[in-house]
Structure 1
Amino acid sequence: MAGNQVAAGEERGMMANSEWVESWALGNTGFHFDKHDPYLDEHEEEIFGDEPKNVFVPLCGKSKDMIWMHGRGHTVVGVEIAEQPIRELFQEHDIPHQVLEVAGVGKLYKSNDERLLLYAADIFDISESLVGKFNVIWDMKSIVAINVADRIKYRDLLLSVLYRDGVYYVGALEFDSSVWAGPPHTMDRKAIEDLFPECLVELIDEMNVTGRTLSTLKSEEKMVEFNDAGLALKSSPYLYARTYKMKFK
C-alpha cells in the first residue's frame, strides 16, 4: 500500500493506492483466499487465550480470517484502501451494519454488534486516537505488500496501536527479488528483526514452497502468493513463506 503522495508507476516495485483499488475492480485479486487461515484453527488458544481480544488487521481486504475471529467473539478492526472488498464482505456474510463517514479518514463499515469495524481508508490516516489499542495484530503478508519506502512509518503506526503486552503476528515471503520487484516484497528474518528492533522475533511457521504454483498452493489451502506475481515467484530459485510472532522486549 502506498501513501497518497506516491504516483502509480513512479518507481519499480511500488504501487499507488489507485492501483490497489483498480486490482479489486478488475478482479486481479490472487492475493485473496476464500478460506480463513488454517493456522487460526491449529493455534487458537495460543493466539487468543480464553477471553475475547481486540484484533487489528492492516490492509485487510475481505479476509475470511476476520469473519472467523468475529464469529468467535473477538472485536476486529481492519483497514483497506479499496471500499469494494469491505462492502462485499458485509454483503456476502449477511452482517447487519451501518456505514459512517469519518472526517479526514474515509468510510467506516461497522457491524450492528460493534465488533467488526472496517475502515475504507489509507492506512496512514489511521491513528491510535481513532482506533485505540489492540491485544493482537494479525498481519498476514500485509507487511510485504506495503511499499518498501513506507515500511518505517507502517511499523511505527502498528506498534503505536499494540498494547505493551500484546502480540504481533506477521507473515512474510522470502524469494529472489531479481525475479519480482514487488509487491509482494521479499523479507527474510533479518529484515523483520531490523525493522522491529524493539521486539523479540520468534519464527513460528515456515514452508518451503519453491517452484510451486499459485493454483497448487490454493488447492492445499496454503496462503502464500499474491496477484500475478505467481509465475514470477515460481521461477525464483527459492521461495519461503514464514510466520513470525513478535512481542515488545
Structure 2
Amino acid sequence: MDDTRTLLDIEKHPNTEVQKNQVRTLEEWQKKWVDRNITFHQEQGHQLLKKYLDTFLKGESGLRIFFPLCGKAVEMKWFADQGHSVVGVEISELAIRDFFTEQNLSYSEEPIMEIPGAKVFKSSSGNISLYCCNIFDLPRANVGKFDRIWDRASFVAVNPGDRERYADIMMSLARKGFRYLLSVVSYDPTKHAGPPFYVPEAEVKSLFGSVCNSQCLEKVDIFEERHKSWGIDYLIEKLYLLTEK
C-alpha cells in the first residue's frame, strides 16, 4: 500500500454503486465448500473479536449469540465453552458437519418443519444450534431473539441488493439491549466484483442508523499477497459496534 495515502483517503470511491447488481447464488456458495475454496474461514478465530471481546460481552453470562452465515467459525465453540448459547445459520450442510467434526462435538439433526428441506443441527450439550437454510427463511423457524450478534463474512457476502432485507432480519432478531459487532471491508469496488462486497460507511448508517447507534471501533489493513489476484492493491477491514438507540 502507498504509505502516502491514509485509510480515510482510500475509502473515497467515485462509484460506490458499481457492485449493486452483483449476485451470487446459494449454489455458488455451496460449491465453495465442496471445492474447499474457503479462504474466508479463519482457523485461529478473528483477531478483532478477540481484541474487543470485553466490549462485545460486557461481562455478561448466559447470553444468546447469533452467527449469521456461520460457516464453521471456531468462535462458536469458544462462546459455547464460556456458557453462552450459540445459534448459527448456514446454507452449506458440509460446513456445519465440518464444524462439529473438527470441534469434536457430537450432535443430532432434525428437520425444520416450518422450512421445507431445511435442517437444524444441535450439539449434544444443547448450547449450539446450527440451522441449515437460507438466512432469509430463518425467521420462519422462530429462533427467538439474541443478546449479541457477531457478523463477520456475512453482511459482506450477502448480495448488495439484499442488504436492506438482511438488515431488517438482523434487527428483528435483536433483543432489547443488544450488542452487534459488524465487520465490513473497504477496497476499490471498480477493480473487484466481490464477494466480499465493498460496504461504504454511509450504507451502514443508512441501513442501521434509524434503530442503532454505530461506532467504528477499528480499521485494519488486511491486504495479503493473495488479494493481488483480485486486482486490488489495498483491503481495509472495519469493525463497527451497533447498539440500541
Pairwise TM-score range, normalised by the shorter structure: 0.7 to 0.9
The answer on whether the counterparts of 1:179 and 1:232 sit within 8 Å (CA) in structure 2 is no
- Residue in structure 2 matched with residue 164 of structure 1 by the alignment: 176
Deviations 1:55-81 (A, max 9, x none): 000000001111111111111100000
Which residue of 157, 181, 185 maps to 1:173?
185
How far, CA to CA, are the matches of 2:92 and 2:216 in structure 1? Answer: 31
Q: Which of 24, 27, 43 pairs up with 2:36?
A: 27
Correspondence 1:90 to 2:100: yes
2:150 to 138, 158, 161: 138
The 8 Å contact of residues 107 and 120 in structure 1, kept in 2 or not, is answered as yes
Contact 1:171–1:241 at 8 Å: present in 2 too? yes
Cα distance in 2 between the residues matched to 1:25 and 1:117 = 22
Structure 2 match to 1:42: 51
Runs of 4+, deviation exceeding 6 Å:
none
2:78 is paired with a residue whose SS is helix
> Aligned residue for 1:51?
61
TM-score normalized by structure 2? 0.85
Query: Against the structure 1 CA distance between its residues 237 and 93, is the aligned structure 2 distance closer, same or farther, given a 3 Å change threshold?
Result: closer
- Count, aligned residues: 222
CA positional deviation for 1:41: 3.1
- AA aligned to 2:153 is K
1:151 aligns with one of 145, 154, 163: 163
Mark the runs of 5 or more structure 2 residues left unpaired by the alignment: 1-19
Partner secondary structure for residue 95 of structure 2:
helix
Q: How does 1:60-99 map to 2 (within 5 A)?
A: 60-99=70-109
Q: Corresponding residue for 1:201?
A: 214
| TM-score with structure 1 setting the length | 0.84
Q: 1:168 to 1:130 in 2, by over 3 A?
A: same
Percent of pairs identical after alignment? 30
How far off its partner does 1:232 sit?
4.3
- Aligned residue in 2 for 1:244: 240
8 Å CA contact 2:152–2:183 kept in 1: the answer is yes
Check whether the contact 1:173–1:242 (CA below 8 A) recurs between aligned residues.
yes
More displaced, 23-32 or 123-132? 123-132
Q: 1:95 offset after TM fit, Å?
A: 0.8
**Contact map agreement 1:145 1:184 (CA 8 A) in 2:** yes
Amino acid at match of 2:236: Y
Say what the alpha-carbon RMSD is for the aligned residues. Answer: 1.8
Q: Which amino acid in the other structure matches residue 21 of structure 1?
A: Q
Residue type at the aligned position of 1:38: Q
Residue 21 of structure 2 contacts residue 160 of structure 2 at CA under 8 Å; is this kept in 1?
no
State the 1:32 CA deviation. 0.9
Q: Is the 8 A contact 2:156 2:184 kept in 1?
A: yes
**In 2, Cα distance between the equivalents of 1:127 and 1:47?**
24
Cα distance in 2 between the residues matched to 1:204 and 1:102 = 37
